[in-house]
Amino acid sequence: MSKFKFLYLIFGIALLVFIFNKVDFNSFLNELNKLRFSFFAILIIYFVGFILDSYSWQLCIENLVKTKLKLHQIFKIRIIGEAFNYIFFQVGGEPVKAFLLKNNYGIKYKSSIGSLILAKTIILFALIIFCFVGLVSIFYTNKFGDNFEKASLIGFVLFTTLISLFFIVQRYKLTSKFHNIFKNKLSKKFNNFFKHLQETEHKIADFYKKTKKDFFKILFLNLSNWFFGALELYAIFYLLNEKITFLEAVAIETLVQLVRAMLFFIPSNLGTQEGVFVLAVNVLKDSTPLGLAVAIIRRLREVIWISIGLILGFNQKIDFKEIKKKL
């Protein structure tokens, strides 16, 4: 783990400890106790989200790599990759996914990485649409106050700008154009790096240009997945005997996802995710214990599925030395 990631992790843990110190612990436990066996319903909703995301990645692989894999194969790789992304900060989950595609199905690293970049870009595009709906919900419900409204608007504009720039670079092959201008001034190592990157960039650009039907299909799947997240949040409140509207659930989920996106450098968004839940739910329902309970339920369902991913991953003989060489 790098020095900065370690510091960010310490910051997240400190923030989480601070939140627990500010919340009445007995009231928090009482909120959690309301859920009991209903927690399995939350796990099922999260499972459906995993399926939708896996199917969208499957379509990306089929378009870029021209290889057909079964959904359960993609699901297994995705859950293992997410587990390692969650636990081992020094090696991200995306390179692990690429390694598993190569090791199990003979798909080259650069092709795997290309499918992951494409999938991630469309996921973020879907998140922009979802957050726009959430932003409208925040203003429409008129329950979150001026500070939340201003912060969410600024966060949305920044996030949308960054993702749009990322898309423009891919769509118009700007990396390739940059390399063509400066290749005579770059070292052999950098030229080889850009050469591999160009191949991936051309495949992604061709996908955007030639397969619009699949693009919108993948976009719809990912957008559905984001709304499943709001549905999960709505279900958590319902099972805790707290009523909110679906629009309010979308609004809270938007705030959470914007914070997660803008503070991506905090490992697993530890502390920051819990913080925004506590603040948003306290504004909406005037209860910090409820906000923390919702946050911890969200965290627990992540931990359970991540644990399954780790168990599956330990049987895969993942070569981290090889992965690091490819980074």
Q: Answer yes or no: is 20 within a domain.
A: no
Q: What is the pLDDT of residues 85-124, one digit of tens each?
A: 877 654 567 888 988 998 888 888 888 888 898 899 999 9
Q: Answer yes or no: is 85 within a domain.
A: yes
Q: What is the pLDDT of residues 195-249, one digit of tens each?
A: 667 777 777 888 888 888 899 999 999 999 999 999 999 999 999 999 999 999 9
Q: Answer yes or no: is 53 within a domain.
A: yes
Rounded distance, CA 233 to CA 244, Å? Answer: 10
Q: Answer yes or no: is 60 within a domain.
A: yes
Q: Answer yes or no: is 145 within a domain.
A: yes
Q: Answer yes or no: is 293 within a domain.
A: yes
Write down the pLDDT at residue 269. 87
The domain tally of the chain equals 1
For the entire predicted model, the pTM comes to: 0.89
Q: Answer yes or no: is 71 within a domain.
A: yes
Write down the pLDDT at residue 129. 95
pLDDT above 90 covers what percent of the chain?
46
Q: Long-range contacts of range 157-165, CB-CB < 8 Å, 24 or more positions apart?
A: 158/262, 159/127, 159/128, 159/131, 159/258, 159/261, 159/262, 160/128, 160/131, 163/121, 163/124, 163/125, 163/127, 163/128
* Residue 217: domain span: 34-326
Contact 222, 123 (CB under 8 A): yes
Rounded distance, CA 210 to CA 205, Å? Answer: 9
Average pLDDT, the chain: 86
* Closest-CA residue to 60 (of 120, 11, 105, 142): 120
Q: Answer yes or no: is 74 within a domain.
A: yes
User: Binning pLDDT at 50, 70 and 90, where does residue 26 land?
Assistant: very high
